[in-house]
């Protein structure tokens, strides 16, 4: 599968080609780099406009990739004249793709430009490419693949915005990726107030038929109050089975109180946990993966571990779990000796300073 990440530039000071990012836009570009920390990127192509290049510079510098500037990605020119009713005229160009105003280009002409870039990327060897462009041109491309993406959807675009274009067996689909700012994510203790959201989270895991990680999300939530009380008892060390240690569970939520993931932190280590469990077990719900949330979840979990008195946390993953491996390394993981299970599975073990 070929993946193309379509990015609308971060917040800018204006529309001229030389306009720079605002101070907030510069912060957004740094967050954008973090957003792609766990996502492999082979190539970066950008509009030559300053605001587009600045949007992706922190990421390009971090992964040591050259930014290819392509004039075909510049913003669509509606007209060379100052139009007092430009917004209504722009709306009209979504209804009539061949409508053209003085000194400008039609929607069809602008779409052809960015389609040419997409086709070149589609025929290239690289599997994962970033394209940085502008709102109108991006919306026209999305309209090309889905005619329901029109003027109102253009108005709903954000700075920055990220869409993932997937190309597989000649079929092209796309989805919008939710970029959460770090300050919008937080860890909360389980609560009955988030019952509906947690049940949605739980159902998504069940429907995916994937292993449920961490282990606490396997707990049947049909008696929700009892489940929450069970987690509270575990944290307090009450009614623990023989050989168990106290543990704390937290839910990762965004500003809309959507549960993105769960972490379980063991307060102490048994011999078995030292071998293959570690202090911290975490998981991101299937629909929210590959968006950088795992890295942030582990980072916030290390802060909680520090509050619990754990100054050096053991975090583990299976050898073939490259996503978790990168997440741990990105959070400062120092490799320790591997543990080999009876079936030959290799557990990679890492220590991370929490403070």
CATH of the domain at 253: 3.40.630.30
Residue with tokens 């530039």: 9
Which whole number is the average pLDDT over 186-193?
Answer: 96
Q: How far apart are CA 36 and CA 340, in angstroms?
A: 32
Same domain, 171 and 314: no
Instruction: Provide the domain limits for residue 70.
Output: 2-177
Residue 255 has a pLDDT of: 78
Q: How far apart are CA 302 and CA 333, in angstroms?
A: 11
Same domain, 292 and 173: no
pLDDT digits (tens, 9 = 90+) for 238-297: 989 999 999 999 999 987 788 999 999 999 999 999 999 999 999 999 988 877 788 889
Quick check: 284 and 206 in contact, CB under 8 A?
no
Domain boundary among 150, 177, 204: 177
pLDDT digits (tens, 9 = 90+) for 39-94: 899 999 999 999 999 999 999 999 999 999 999 999 999 999 988 999 999 999 99
Same domain, 164 and 21: yes
Structure tokens at 324: 């978790």
Q: How far apart are CA 55 and CA 52, in angstroms?
A: 5
Same domain, 194 and 152: no
Which whole number is the average pLDDT over 211-238?
Answer: 96
Number of domains in the chain: 2
Domain boundary among 177, 196, 225: 177
Same domain, 15 and 140: yes
Tell which wins on pLDDT, 326 or 205.
Answer: 205
pLDDT digits (tens, 9 = 90+) for 12-38: 999 999 999 999 899 889 989 988 988
> In degrees rounded to 5, what are phi and psi of residue 105?
-125, 150
**What residue ranges in the chain does DSSP mark as E strands?**
2-8, 43-46, 67-69, 128-133, 161-168, 171-177, 186-188, 247-253, 259-266, 280-284, 312-318, 334-335, 339-340, 346-353
> In degrees rounded to 5, what are phi and psi of residue 271?
-65, -40
- Tell the burial category of 6 from Cβ atoms under 10 Å away from its Cβ (0-12, 13-18, 19+): buried
**In the predicted structure, residue 181 carries a pLDDT above the cut 70:** no
CATH of the domain at 113: 3.40.50.1240
């Amino acid at each position: 599968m070929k993946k193309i990440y379509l990015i609308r530039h971060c917040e800018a000071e204006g529309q001229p080609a030389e306009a720079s990012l605002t101070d907030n836009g510069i912060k957004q570009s740094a967050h954008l780099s973090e957003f792609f920390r766990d996502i492999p990127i082979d190539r970066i192509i950008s509009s030559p406009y300053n605001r587009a290049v600045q949007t992706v510079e922190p990421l390009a510098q971090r992964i040591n990739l050259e930014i290819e500037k392509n004039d075909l990605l510049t913003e669509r020119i509606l007209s060379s004249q100052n139009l007092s009713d430009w917004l209504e005229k722009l709306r009209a160009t979504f209804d009539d793709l061949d409508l053209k105003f003085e000194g400008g280009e039609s929607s069809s002409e602008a779409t052809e430009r960015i389609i040419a870039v997409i086709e070149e990327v589609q025929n290239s060897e690289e599997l994962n490419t970033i394209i940085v462009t502008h709102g109108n041109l991006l919306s026209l491309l999305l309209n090309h693949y889905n005619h329901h993406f029109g003027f109102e959807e253009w108005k709903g675009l954000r700075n920055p915005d990220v869409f993932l274009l997937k190309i597989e067996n000649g079929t092209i689909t796309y989805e919008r990726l939710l970029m959460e700012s770090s300050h919008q994510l937080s860890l909360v203790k389980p609560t009955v107030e988030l019952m509906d959201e947690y049940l949605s989270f739980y159902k998504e895991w069940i429907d995916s038929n994937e292993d449920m990680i961490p282990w606490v999300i396997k707990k049947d939530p049909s008696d929700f109050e009892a489940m929450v009380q069970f987690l509270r008892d575990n944290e307090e060390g009450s009614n623990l089975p023989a050989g168990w240690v106290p543990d704390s569970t937290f839910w990762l939520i965004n500003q809309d109180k959507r549960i993105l993931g769960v972490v379980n932190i063991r307060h102490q280590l048994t011999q078995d946990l030292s071998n293959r469990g570690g202090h911290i077990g975490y998981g991101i719900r299937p629909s929210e993966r590959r968006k950088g949330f795992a890295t942030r979840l582990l980072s916030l979990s290390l802060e909680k571990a520090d509050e619990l008195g754990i100054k050096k946390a053991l975090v583990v993953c299976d050898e073939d779990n490259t996503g978790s491996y990168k997440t741990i390394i990105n959070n400062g993981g120092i490799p320790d000796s591997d543990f080999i299970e009876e079936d030959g599975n290799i557990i990679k073990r890492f220590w991370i300073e929490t403070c």
